[in-house]
Structure 1
Amino acid sequence: MHLAETLMALGGAFLAAGLAARLGRRFGLPTIPLFMLAGLLLGPNTPGLALVEDPTEFALLSSLGLILLLFYLGLEFHLDDLIGGGRRLLAAGGLYLLINVGLGLGFGFALGWGSREAFVLAGVIGISSSAIVTKVLVETGRLGRPESKLVLGIIVVEDVFLALYLALLQPVLSDASGFGESAQQFGIAFGFLVVLTAIARWGATLVGRLVDTRDDELLIVTFVGLAVLSAGVAEKLGVSDAIGAFMIGLILGSGKAGVRIQKLVHPLRDAFAALFFFTFGLTIDPGDVLSVWLPISIAIVVTVVGNLTAGALSSRIYGFGPEKASFVSLTVLARGEFALILASMAAVAGLDPRITAFVAGYVLVLAILGPLAASRSDDFARVLDRALGRWLPEAPVPQPAEETQRGQNARFEGVISGTPGGRD
């Protein structure tokens, strides 16, 4: 592709993604599936205009979108959030992951596509889309309520799990030969995580001083360079580039300049993350999605059952009744950005090509179904009340202090822009 054609295709991609998302917002739809849909319609696998004939031509820019996505996730996450949540938060979040990831792993093995594929599907089915979840919290006007604190706590626990899971998944995807090689690769990934986590915990202030500057332009150049370099170093070490981006975001987010960086990276993340989802859409063949409609349908049922079960059990830990339990269960139902990240990693690793088609259809359905179901959680709560009313007694939950809640609201409202992003 010549330069002029490349620029036209790139500009068209951004424009198409933006117009599709703008149209979808009028109907209250999340942007992630719409970016994918735009790529699908303008890709080489559908009739009509093919904006891009070869999706690999956008590979580098798409990778940059993934890096900024995970970098922003790291900026949002704070170790103090997990520590401050206490045992109850860990129990609720851990229970949610145990049920959903466990069901996903069982479903993956039941499909018979392969062991490596099963581990990918476990993450796809087990991890919710925080991009959609946090948007739902704001749009339903329930961000300041006690049940939303549990929802946000589940997201925090998922953040920690995601980093560990990517480290564990890397030697699996690389098809390491023998236990020794797998253990070595996991040891490198885990050691990389430990070192960078220690820096985030005790050295973030020093790192923040090294990068902080009053000039926004210089700050942007510096943190983008660090994010991309860290991703490259991680990839060189045989660790996922996503881990490197996440961890450098965690370090910078804990420093003095963290809030400024989060604000400055927001538009970059939005633009390149949109391109990441658009590029994923380019790779989708509708015929392939239709060929796996049965596994997609079963996975959706498994996800709904898992979420309802996990939401009810987690809500019981917090003493919530049916109404709040219904809202928690349905709010974290949507799947999105991390499912697509895992599908992209599976494609690069040469796993069963059906995974890409499966994830595309699965995400498209749940990314739309999740917000719609959450907006009608009160109706479902009446059904839940008749079924589990005695098992889920409503217990008074103390409201957080006004100043604490205002700070929490400000932090998470800053995440919401209606566009995709890590933990957006």
Structure 2
Amino acid sequence: MAHVPPLILDLALILGVAGITTLIFKKLNQPLVLGYLLAGLLVGPNFPLFPTILETESIRTWADIGVIFLLFGLGLEFSFKKLVQVGGAASLTGLLEIGAMLLLGYSTGTWLGWSAMDSLFLGGIMAISSTTIILRAFEELGLKTRRFVSLVFGILIIEDLVAILLLVLLSTLAISQRFAGMELLGSLLKLGFFLTVWFLAGIFLIPSLLRRLRQTLTDETLLILSLGLCFVMVVLVTSAGFSSALGAFLMGSILAETIFVEKIEHLLRPIKDLFGAVFFVSVGMLINPVLLLDYLGPVLLISATVILGKAFFVSLGAVLAGQSLRHALATGMSMTQIGEFSFIIATLGVSLRVTSDFLYPIAVAVSVLTTFTTPYLMRLAEPFYRVLERQLPSRWRASLQTYSAGTQRITQVSDWQQVLRTYLQAVTINTVICIALILLTTYFLTPIVTFRIIASPWGEMLTALLALSLMAPFLWALSVKKLRSTSYVTLWRSRVFSRGPLVALEAARIAIGVGLVSFLLAQLFSVLVGLGAAVLMIGVVLPLFTHRLQQTYARLENRFLYNLNARALEQQRPMAYRHLVPWDAHLASFEVSPDADCLGKTLTELAFREKYGVNIVQIERGSRTIVAPNGAEPLFPGDKLTVVGTDEQLQRFKPTVAPTPAQVVHTTPEVMLKQLMVDAQFPFLGKSIREARIREKTHGLVVGIERGGQRMLNPDPATVFQLGDVVWISGEKQLILSLEHENESPSA
């Protein structure tokens, strides 16, 4: 009989038991991750009544690979463009909640008498909610069309990014065993630098590579190439002193900007499921039931702290961000659990041997308890709101409504904000690229040139020439390129006292360019030579070759921007859960069911607006996208409707087009809901909606007007725009933005 390696026996035991437990949990309509945890407990060393795995270290290696695949998959769903699209409400709420839970977790651990490192890791474990559990609960409870869901997903995006930063910071603290502020600041700056370099280089190179190979990419080659890129990034990131999870997440977020992301996600799913199962089983293997009984009190205390703390701080953050009390409570009570990232943070503490034995099983137990309570708390959100509303004094309710309406007004970005944003972006990006080229030159290029090609001093001169040639376009954009936008010109002409700070900004970026060139040349020659050559290059050489450098930089910039937006340009990929509107009317999408009674009828015949108060702002039909369809447009099976309305209106409307529960689809980037303030420069002041020809100019609709604190949904076409109105327009994004520009141009 052939010998079977222990690893194969272990995998047979793990996957066999996991298969049985997950079938049971699926039958019980419970999250599969709990089945994996139970399987790990059964095959682990702490459960002697069942066969135990033989090679623990090999399984740990597989579990590490599982973490890489989990983070790679998370990065594919993340996309840095989504982070840019996350609204201010989600950012404020997420950062407030995470900061409060970190402090609350650390305080809880300290109160229990735990060490500082245990308390710190507990704070990290308690800070991050479970995306998987929330998604599943929303689907099971039919909540995905509710307006507050977009806020939840925005917060989850913020949490994912902060969780990655936590992994890096906790690793640094665990290794140094010190809470030095300067050391942490240095780690953050190092992390920010490498993240920027890797992201810029990845977006510039990888989408272009995949497009060139497009004709030769099969499913197999695309999968292997994607995994190869993932593990190469893991190696690069770990070589720089960061965790492998960061590398996997970063490469996933880079590939998320390519047109192949859906195919990669589809191909990766079975592999991610396999290694993810091994990871969660390995988590369950570390659960010690006896230890849990000894720490039952802390488990219950921490579970209650997670539930109450997250519900309170998320709700508080949402209210401060201008959400209504109803939506704030629904958001807060949806995020009262911990999950995948908490396991990864707890695993980090175990692997670095800096946390106590009891912390890991406590984290797992808290996750299990909070997972079970999540659906019930989601259901209780609305009844709890009604009770709280009755108990609140009328003055408080009025104040909350006034605050919510006030924070959701259009906020004008000042000229100084626009100028500083432009300068900061240009300086940061080009400085990071130049520093990366300097490091590449001094650490890699110089030894190769001087030892293998030309000896000193000619080797250093050739190296400096090559480095400055590579840096030239970016030095030009940093120090010479004119950044004089409309806001800059406005400040320069209208306010004499603004000229000093503007000149200081110009001088600062020139000084940064001189400093970068001086730093490079000082590494190869002397400080005086470096400073003199830097002044000569910034003051003479770069301005002399401005035209050529401008062309080179424009080509590089256009390539980067095309790669960044290729997915939207080529596929018009729908955006996921973008927060679009700050009041009750919002965008949602539905797929027309083949069983719907509305099939074949025109929009005029169906009269959705009259019956339900909703507006159809877009129809996706195959490869066609019909924006602002007219009343003669019929509906067909499979049509994807983008609809604007309130939660209640959408709930009444849904059975008309989807008699059976339908999968919610996402709105496309071509459609948006925009609010405009009617001021003295508004081009349609004193005109009616019909006279303004909004429909023709934006391929859209005026879906609401706020006037004197009163909101008019679906205003009559004869309604006249009055000074102080807040107008809500839904339609084609570019046309609405051009209309907004037309509104602003007279005052420019």
- The TM-score, its normalising length taken from structure 1, stands at 0.87
User: In 2, are the aligned partners of 1:55 and 1:283 still within 8 Å (CA)?
Assistant: no
RMSD of aligned residue pairs (Cα, Å)? 2.8
Deviations 1:302-340 (A, max 9, x none): 112212212322442343333x33332222112111111
Greater RCO, CA 8 A, separation 6+: 1
How much has 1:223 moved relative to structure 2? 1.3
Aligned twin of 2:323:
319
Deviates more, 1:372-381 or 1:57-66: 372-381
Contact 2:169–2:184 (8 Å) recurs in 1:
no
- Aligned twin of 1:285: 288
The corresponding residue for 2:378 is: 374
Match runs of 1:345-356 below 5 Å? 345-351=348-354, 352-356=356-360
Counterpart in the other structure of 2:563:
none
**Cα distance in 2 for residues equivalent to 1:178 and 1:157:** 25
1:153 corresponds in structure 2 to 154
Report the CA distance shift for 1:246/1:286 in structure 2 as closer, same or farther (over 3 A). same
1:63 aligns with: 64
- Residue by residue, what CA displacement relative to the aligned partner does 1:36-61 show, whole Å, maximum 9, x if unpaired? 11110221101311231453230111
For 1:399, the aligned partner's letter is H
Mean Cα deviation higher: 115-124 or 378-387? 378-387
Displacement of 1:132? 0.7
Matched residue type, 2:274: A
> What SS does the corresponding residue of 2:176 show, helix, strand or coil?
coil
- Structure 1 window deviating more from structure 2 (392-401 vs 47-56): it is 392-401
Match of 2:366 in 1: 362
Q: Is contact 1:211-1:219 (8 Å) kept? A: no
Q: Is the 8 A contact 1:289 1:360 kept in 2?
A: no
Aligned counterpart, 1:415: none
1:192 equivalent to 2:207? Answer no
Q: Does 1:6 align with 2:7?
A: yes
- Deviation, 1:251, is 0.7
Instruction: Give the number of the structure whose residues are more often strand, by fraction.
Output: 2
Task: Map 1:320-339; keep pairs closer than 5 Å.
Answer: 320-322=324-326, 324-339=327-342
The answer to whether the 8 A contact 2:7-2:55 is kept is no
Aligned AA for 1:74?
A: G
- Equivalent residue for 2:144? 143
Q: Distance in 1 between matches of 2:205 and 2:217?
A: 21
- Between the aligned partners of 2:154 and 2:257, the Cα distance in structure 1 is 18
Q: Are positions 1:86 and 2:79 aligned together?
A: no
Structure 2 residue matching 1:239: 3-state secondary structure = coil
TM-score by length of 2: 0.51
Residues 211/312 of structure 1: CA separation in 2 closer, same or farther (3 Å cut): farther
Following TM superposition, by how much is the alpha carbon of 1:15 offset from its aligned partner in structure 2, in angstroms?
Answer: 2.5
Amino acid paired to 2:53: V
Distance (Å, rounded) in 2 between the aligned partners of 1:216 and 1:63: 25
Match of 2:78 in 1: 77
After TM superposition, list the pairs within 5 Å mapping 1:339-418 onto structure 2.
339-351=342-354, 352-387=356-391, 390-391=396-397, 396-400=583-587, 402=589, 409-410=664-665
- Residue pair 2:69, 2:275 contacting (<8 A) in 1 also: yes
Aligned length: 410
Bigger-Rg structure (1/2): 2
> Sequence identity of aligned pairs in percent?
26
The 1-side partners of 2:80 and 2:64 are apart by 26
- Partner amino acid for 1:260? K
Question: Bigger shift: 39-48 or 208-217?
Answer: 208-217
Structure 1 stretches of 4+ with a deviation exceeding 6 A read 404-408
1:232 to partner: Cα distance: 3.0
Q: 1:250 aligns with which of 246, 250, 253?
A: 253
**1:298 aligns to 2:305 (yes or no):** no
Deviations 1:63-113 (A, max 9, x none): 111000000111111222222233233222222223223322322333342
Give 1:197's aligned amino acid.
F
- Mapped to 2, the partners of 1:375 and 1:401 lie a distance apart of 21
1-side partners of 2:61 and 2:364: how far apart? 21
Q: What is the letter of the counterpart of residue 69 of structure 2?
A: L
Gaps of 5+ in 2: 406-582, 590-617, 620-639, 643-662, 668-748
1:251 maps to amino acid: I
- C-alpha distance in 2, partners of 1:249/1:136? 25
2: distance between equivalents of 1:4 and 1:271?
20
